[in-house]
Amino acid sequence: MNSRYLMISEHWRRQYGEKVYKLPVGLPVTCPNRDGTCGVGGCIFCGEIGAGYENLPESMTVREQIAINRRHIQAKYKAEKFIAYLQNFSNTYLPPQQFAAYVEEACQPDVVAIAIATRPDCVNDKYLDILAELRERRGIDITIELGLQTVNYRTLAWINRGHGLAEFLDATLQSRRFGFDVCAHIILNLPGDEMIDVVEAAKTLSALNVQQVKLHALYVVKGTRLAELYERGELTLGSCEDYVERAMAFLEYLSPDIAVQRLIGRAPEANTLFTNWSMGWWKIRETIETRLTELDTWQGKRCDYLNGPAVKKFL
Ligand code: SF4
């Protein structure tokens, strides 16, 4: 590892022998936490367009979206291999036949993997069977991207997540039983969460043997319940320095084998009341990397808690 943490680019280079690029694909899906199935209104930070602000219109077919994004990325980076990323809302929240048709259509030339973002309570054997069959038949890798956000189940209730920690554990264990990679999404600075929650998140994901993580700072999207709290002055957001400290601690406790897709998220400023302390995301990433070097620390430095550490003195 050249860097002080395992960057996803290095992880993919090891796996595919070259750089690969994600192509966002938007499906006409919603989320059971928005339509009343397991909640209404969604997570308190979730805006009308979910996470898909960079997506092409969902009215376009999967094939068209992949073709357009692929042309753009190929011209810009001379890319040869791609991951189709079903990004927005909960992409397994569909009848199984419809889901099967979408993932089949995502198997375009030079697409080496499909990454499917969904909620833990939308992971079910039936869908995993479809993906396992697709993997065998088309020789394509599968990553399940699961929103967890925090391991603190009281905070999960406060953000109206509509599921607890147990559902995430179940979805991860199920996906791993099928041999799929899992990427967990975490927000490091949710109100109410402290450093102990950040450390426990890193330890839990390491114990679960997930393959990737994506870290975010909380941003405030206009029109959300979080925005109401923010505008009423009832939301306390920590400082950027605190976020940097949390990211470093998370990395120290994280298994060195887990690839980091992001150290900080991105959101369009026009649509938000608060994003990344009005700093560029790359600036915050750079600050974390600089601090890791200054303190001579690295991912996995404190990953010494697995496999019965108390009995190691007898071995
Ligand atoms: S689970 Fe995702 S899509 Fe559903 S409400 Fe929460 S953030 Fe939005």
pLDDT in tens, 112-132: 999 999 999 999 999 999 999
Residue 17 lies in a domain: yes
Mean pLDDT for 211-226 is 96
**Structural domain count, the chain:** 1
Nearest CA to ligand 1 atom 5: 42
* Residue 189 pLDDT grade (very low, low, confident, very high; cuts 50, 70, 90): very high
Could you tell me which residues come within 8 angstroms of residue 244 by beta carbon, excluding any fewer than 6 positions away?
284, 287, 288, 291
Give the ligand 1 atom nearest the CA of 161: 6
Nearest CA to ligand 1 atom 7: 46
Which of the 8 DSSP states describes residue 176?
H
Q: Assess if residue 36 is contained within a domain.
A: yes
In a domain, 275, yes or no: yes
Q: Which atom of ligand 1 is nearest to the CA of 32?
A: 4
Sequence-ordered list of residues with C-beta below 8 angstroms from that of 276, at least 6 positions apart, any chain:
217, 219, 240, 264, 265, 266, 267, 284
From 35, 38, 43, give the residue whose CB has the most ligand 1 atoms within 8 Å, as the site to mutate.
43
Q: Is 213 within the bounds of a domain? A: yes
Ligand 1, atom 6: nearest CA belongs to which residue? 43
Tell me the C-alpha distance between 147 and 77, whole Å: 29
Q: Do residues 123 and 171 touch, judged by C-beta distance below 8 A?
A: yes
Is 107 domain-assigned?
A: yes
Domain that holds residue 80: 8-314
Measured distance CA(17)–CA(231) in Å, rounded:
48
The answer to whether the CB of 32 is under 6 A from ligand 1 is no
The terminus-to-terminus CA distance of the chain in angstroms comes to: 29
> Is the residue at 249 inside a domain?
yes
Question: Ligand 1 centroid to 192 CA: how many Å?
Answer: 19
CA-nearest residue for atom 3, ligand 1, is 89
Contact 79, 21 (CB under 8 A): yes
Among residues of the chain, what percentage have pLDDT more than 70? 97
Q: Which domain CATH number covers 53?
A: 3.20.20.70
Burial class (CB in 10 A: 0-12, 13-18, 19+), 262: middle
pLDDT, one tens digit per residue, over 34-89 is 999 988 889 999 987 655 556 788 889 999 999 999 999 999 999 999 999 999 88
The angle formed by the CA atoms of residues 51, 214 and 92, to the nearest 5 degrees, is 50
- Per-residue confidence at 200, pLDDT binned at 50, 70, 90? very high
Is 1 inside a domain boundary?
Answer: no
Residue 60 lies in a domain: yes
* 47 Cβ below 6 A of ligand 1: no
Smallest CA separation from ligand 1 atom 4, residue: 31
Query: DSSP H helical segments within the chain, as ranges?
Result: 8-16, 62-77, 96-105, 125-138, 153-158, 165-177, 195-207, 225-231, 240-253, 281-294
Q: Does any ligand 1 atom lie closer than 6 A to the CB of residue 44? A: no
Which one of 33, 35, 163 would you pick to mutate in the ligand 1 pocket, going by the greatest count of ligand atoms within 8 A of its CB? 33
